[in-house]
Amino acid sequence: MQKNLNDNSKTDKGKKTNGQFTSWMQSLSQVGLGDSLLHTVTNIFSIIAIVVVIWMAEAYFNQPRAQTQANSTPLPGPTPIAVSTTGSAGGPIDLSSVGIVREENIHTNIPSRPRQDIIQYTVQNGDTVAGIADNFGLQPKTIFAANYNILQDDPESLKPGENLKILPVDGVYWEWTGGIPFGEWAAYFKVKPGDIINYPANHLDPSAVGDPANANIKVDTWLIVPGGEYQYHTPGQIGFVSRTSPASAQVAGPGACPPTNSTAAGTGTFAYPTDRHYLSGFDYSVKTNHLAIDLAANLGDNIYAADGGVVVYAGWNNFGYGNMTMIDHGNGFQTLYAHQSQIFVSCGQGVNKGQVIGAAGATGNASGPHLHFEVRYNGVPIDPWDVLPPSSPAPWAASP
């Protein structure tokens, strides 16, 4: 009975509340606010519904992703490299700054191909000519043949710090100075002219060279003679030739010697006739008719024979040379030494390459001490620079 009374009481309260709400809504409608309130409440419920839907969607999509990552099985492939994501201080590292991580490979494949050009090698303490040649797969004679101006064919001339030319193949490296057919020049080294012209490292255009026997190659060009035979020169040695006619000076004057049948001859290469290997006066010039070079020398400095041979002039000359010496080298070459203060050789005397033949002076047409040095081939003056080696002190000469 009591329960029924309570239920009836609650029902009456509910009806009363509903009646009050209805009465309140009717009052709002009468004043024109009912529709506005209804729209506002509807909007609020719509916003709440959207928020709930978004929250539920995020929860839904996040949950499967975590499960997929936890249950995934890596595909077969290379073992990945572990990369620490913490720095030395324990802080995180920005992996974007690391880049692609690769395993270290310390082996470098260097392609093996034949060397084509000349390289330089600086002599080290303990080096020998034979050892250097062996390191580059060459014969010792090739080292001498490419570096005559430094070594003079003497193995004891090798000094630390010197820069040697190393040929790519066995053979000879020599300067083409002209004066004879190119075919004869090549035959001296016992090769064919085409072997030299067509060798890639010589950078010659066969079509521009023309006839190999009389090749059109610029004078002063240094050429590799692949497979060329090289004849050692003994420093200071007097060579010998069989002259078909007596040697005589190509310059007339009081000091000219009688023709001589001496067989003394040179080595075929030239050295500087002074200790100072630079000009002090006029250079060789066809234009100004100065067919010699004026090498620097102080009064009384030694004058050396540029190559071995026989003296064909020793004495005074009336044509401006003053005290003059001339040497015939037995191979078509003669050298002339003018303006000397003293002459130490005599007619018909055989001389060695590098032998002192006089003293520098200023006799004849000279304004000061120097050496007027001429080189003649078959009677025609040629530029001495064409036959002199690159400037370096001769092994027998004192330092300037």
Distance (Å, rounded) from C-alpha 192 to C-alpha 183?
7
Which of 305, 352, 354 is CA-nearest to residue 326? 305
Residue with tokens 């190119």: 182
Residues 6+ apart with CB under 8 A from 268: 233, 239, 307, 331
Taking the C-alpha atoms of residue 291 and residue 372, their distance in angstroms, rounded to an integer, is: 10
- ∠238-240-245 over CA atoms, to 5°? 130
Q: Which two tokens mark 393?
A: 């002190």
Q: What is the pLDDT of residue 50?
A: 83
CA–CA distance, 345 with 361 (Å, rounded to integer): 16
pLDDT for 237: 46
What is the structure's pLDDT at 315?
96
The predicted pLDDT at position 56 comes to 81
- Does residue 240 contact residue 264 with C-beta atoms inside 8 Å? yes
Q: What is the pLDDT of residue 252?
A: 85
Q: What does the angle CA 170 – CA 129 – CA 274 come to, to the nearest 5 degrees?
A: 100
Q: Which domains does the chain have, with CATH numbers?
A: 119-226 (3.10.350.10), 239-386 (2.70.70.10)
User: Along the chain (400 residues), what's the average pLDDT of each consecutive run of 10 residues?
Assistant: 50 56 62 63 78 78 52 46 47 49 45 74 92 93 89 80 94 84 88 93 91 89 92 55 73 90 86 92 86 94 95 93 94 94 95 94 92 92 90 39
> Quick one: angle between helices 2-30 and 34-71, nearest 10?
110
Range list of β-strands (E), 200-308: 221-226, 239-240, 264-265, 293-296, 302-304
Q: What is the pLDDT of residue 110?
A: 42
Supply the pLDDT for residue 238: 47
* Distance between CA atoms of residues 306 and 326, nearest Å: 11
Instruction: Report the distance separating Cα 202 and Cα 116, nearest Å.
Output: 9
Report the pLDDT value the prediction gives residue 22, as an integer from 0 to 100.
63
The confidence score (pLDDT) of residue 265 equals 86
What pLDDT, on a 0 to 100 scale, did the predictor assign at position 150? Answer: 85
Q: What angle do CA 279, 285, 289 make, to 5 degrees?
A: 120
